[in-house]
Structure 1
Amino acid sequence: MALSPERIDSIATLAGRLFAGGGKLDAVVRGVREANPDLKTVTGAMAAVMAEDPFREEAGFDLHLVDGNNHCWLITDKPELATGVVIAQRDEDE
């Protein structure tokens, strides 16, 4: 399953709206997961623990794409391989 640019925009917009509304990371992840039940992986992390560069930077969070096509998932920069996302919240100081 590939993630189209429009789908990535939709996910980022939803996550941004949930964060802007005061949502905590777990609530944002839950909201994105509920709106995208076909994604294999929707998870959250703090940006400081992510070793990879984000696919996209948004206000207050980074969006990483996940390739879960094999046994273990990995971060990818290729939307055509993406099966999910990691929403990585940044500290306000970042």
Structure 2
Amino acid sequence: MALSPERIESIATLAGRLFAEGGRLDAVVRAVRDAHPDLKTVTGAHAAVMAEDPFREGSGFDLHLVDGNNHCWLITDKPELATGVVIAQRDEDD
């Protein structure tokens, strides 16, 4: 399943709105998962532990695309391979 630019925008907009409203990472991940139940992977992390560059940066968070088409999932910059996302919350210092 590929993630279209519109779908990525929808995910980023939802996450950005929830973070702006003071949402915690776990609540944001749950809301994205609920809004996009067909995604194989929707998980959260702190940006400081992510070694890869984000696919997209939002206000207070980074969005990474996940390729889960094989046994192990990988971070990808190719929406056509993406089956999910990692929402990585940035610290205020980042």
Please indicate, yes or no, whether the TM-score normalized by the shorter chain is above 0.5: yes
Mapped to 2, the partners of 1:16 and 1:57 lie a distance apart of: 10
Number of residue-to-residue matches in the alignment: 94
Name the residue aligned to 1:73: 73
Q: Which amino acid aligns with 1:18?
A: L
**Identity over aligned pairs, percent:** 89
What is the TM-score of this pair, normalised by structure 1?
Answer: 0.99
* Runs of 5+ consecutive residues of structure 1 not aligned to the other structure: none
Q: Which amino acid aligns with 2:7?
A: R
Q: What secondary structure is seen at the aligned counterpart in 1 of 2:48?
A: helix
RMSD over aligned CA atoms reads 0.4
CA shift for structure 1 position 39? 0.1
2:27 corresponds to 1:27: yes
Name the residue aligned to 1:8: 8
* Runs of 5+ consecutive residues of structure 2 not aligned to the other structure: none
Tell me which stretches of 4 or more aligned residues in structure 1 moved more than 6 Å. Answer: none
Q: Which amino acid aligns with 2:30?
A: R
What is the TM-score of this pair, normalised by structure 2?
Answer: 0.99
Q: What secondary structure is seen at the aligned counterpart in 1 of 2:92?
A: coil
Q: Which amino acid aligns with 1:86?
A: V
Mapped to 2, the partners of 1:4 and 1:86 lie a distance apart of: 16
Mapped to 2, the partners of 1:34 and 1:74 lie a distance apart of: 22
